Amino acid sequence: MTKSIKTFDQKYYLQYKGEPWTGTSHQLYNLSVLLAEASILKRVAVLPHLTLAGHHNQGKAIRVPLSTYFDLSVFEHEVALISIEEFEHLPLKDQEWVDEKLPTKALQNRTAHLIIREFTNPSDVFSAPMKSDPAVEAVASRMRSLIAPNQKVRDAAAVAIQTLKGNFDVVHVRRGDLLEYAKQEWWRFPGFDRRTQPQGIRQRIAPWIETGRTLYIMTDELQPHFFDPLKAWYTIYTFRNFPTFVQLKEEDNYLLYEVEKHIASQARIQVEMFSRYGQNVNFKYSLLDYPRWGIDTPTSRRLKRLMQTVNDIKSIVKRQILERMRRLISHN
């Protein structure tokens, strides 16, 4: 159970309502905003659990404390914290509910012992207060930079870091869930499949990572030998080279992901998937030259409208064919 780690008047609390079932990276952005607001308001931040979606974890959704993966002591000079388990035993009756649109500065003089922010879209918590108050964005950015793995994560990562001899580069190649999505909306994700194939990866990273380097690939690619062609230029490692990582992937893929993020933090060069909204906060290079949500240009919007028109026509034709078949069967 996480105890409050900053000592001042522990009577005033801030809680966010709404638990998104997403991945850790998204929820860490949300957490950074909660901690920023609590710090600015001099309130104790009520730590939510991580509610982690099953589609990144062998179909197993899980709900775990933040301390499962992260070292919360890094915030001890920034903000007071209390675990949700500890908080639920407090006899607080004086509470005030506010919505996501109310600026942080409007809460400065509120006297309720508990302020609860309720979000209409829990998966998008981090954007709401920041849009209304630049000060929150600045503090949230600092909080994000402090987020660190716990000892369990660091110990697991050390196995790979020692094998890689401390002189390696990392490329993040996320294909599993995004590949099908990118195929369906190809106008937003141009060249996704081609650019995440071994030859596409080689062409992209060659200017940054010279031949002969050791390369750890963070990936959810299911084909065991998918990256073998890259061995013509690099010494390649993935989670499959480490039996403990293979076991982690089966038991808790989110833990493996945090382990790999720590491995990436020790690399000489990190190549993320997208040009923005990277899973690692600090990176210079990206495999794709567009953001996580894809491109949004006049051309891509025209292509989207064209595909919608084509699909509408297909649906009309299909209905007409089915109707004719029905009539023929009925007539006979």
What confidence tens digit (pLDDT) does each residue in 299-310 have? 777 777 777 787
Q: Residue 280's pLDDT is what?
A: 47
d(CA 12, CA 43): 5
Is the per-residue pLDDT at 17 higher than 80?
yes
Q: Please tell me the predicted confidence (pLDDT) of residue 281.
A: 46
Helices (H), 79-150: 84-87, 127-132, 134-146
pLDDT of residue 207: 96
Q: What is the pLDDT of residue 254?
A: 94
| Nearest residue to 30 via CA among 126, 118, 99 | 126
Residue 310 CB coordination number (10 Å): 10
Mean pLDDT computed over every residue of the chain? 87
151-286 and 13-146 share a CATH fold: yes
CA distances from 172 to 38, 117, 175, 216, 274 (A): 33, 34, 10, 9, 9
Is 190 buried (19+), middle (13-18) or exposed (0-12) by CB count in 10 A?
A: middle
Query: Is there a contact between 129 and 115 (Cβ–Cβ < 8 Å)?
Result: no
Say what the pLDDT of residue 93 is. Answer: 78
Which class would CATH give 13-146? alpha beta
Under the banding of pLDDT at 50, 70 and 90, the label for residue 45 is: very high
Dist CA 111 CA 31 (whole Å): 23
- Extract the tokens encoding 183: 């195929």
Question: Taking the CB of residue 315, how many other CB atoms lie within 10 A of it?
Answer: 10
**Res. 237: pLDDT tops 80:** yes
d(CA 268, CA 240): 21
**Mean local confidence (pLDDT), 77-100:** 90
CA separation for the pair 130, 119 (Å, rounded): 14
pLDDT digits (tens, 9 = 90+) for 206-215: 999 999 999 9
Q: Is 165 left (phi over 0), alpha (psi -120 to 50) or beta?
A: left
Q: In the chain, what are the domain boundaries?
A: 13-146, 151-286, 299-332
* 156 vs 159: CA distance, rounded Å: 6
Residue 119 vs residue 152, higher pLDDT: 152
Strand ranges in the chain using DSSP code E only, listed in sequence order? 13-17, 44-47, 50-52, 62-64, 81-83, 95-99, 114-118, 169-173, 214-219, 235-237, 270-272, 285-286
CA distance 290 to 100: 29
Position 279 scores a pLDDT of 45
pLDDT, residue 322, reads 81
Token pair of 72, please?
């919360």
CATH of the domain spanning 151-286, picked from 3.40.50, 1.10.3470, 3.30.70, 1.10.10: 3.40.50
**What is the residue type of 7?**
T
The DSSP string of 168-228 is: -EEEEE--TTHHHHHHHTTTTSTTHHHHTSHHHHHHHHTTTS-TT-EEEEEE----TTTTG
CB 2 within 8 A of CB 81: yes
Does the structure show a pLDDT above 70 at 30?
yes
- Look at residue 92 in the predicted model and tell me its pLDDT: 82
Digit-coded pLDDT (tens) for 119-143:
877 656 555 565 667 888 889 889 9
- % of the chain residues with pLDDT over 90: 56
pLDDT 10s digits, 247-289: 999 999 999 999 999 999 999 999 999 987 544 445 689 999 9
Residue type, 249: K
Angle at 20 between CA 16 and CA 24, to 5 degrees: 100
Residue where the block lists tokens 């890259």: 230
Cα(first)–Cα(last) distance of the chain, in Å? Answer: 73
**pLDDT above 50 for 2:** no
What average pLDDT does range 289-305 have in this prediction? 80
Residue 7 has pLDDT above 80, yes or no: no
85 or 308, which is more confident: 85
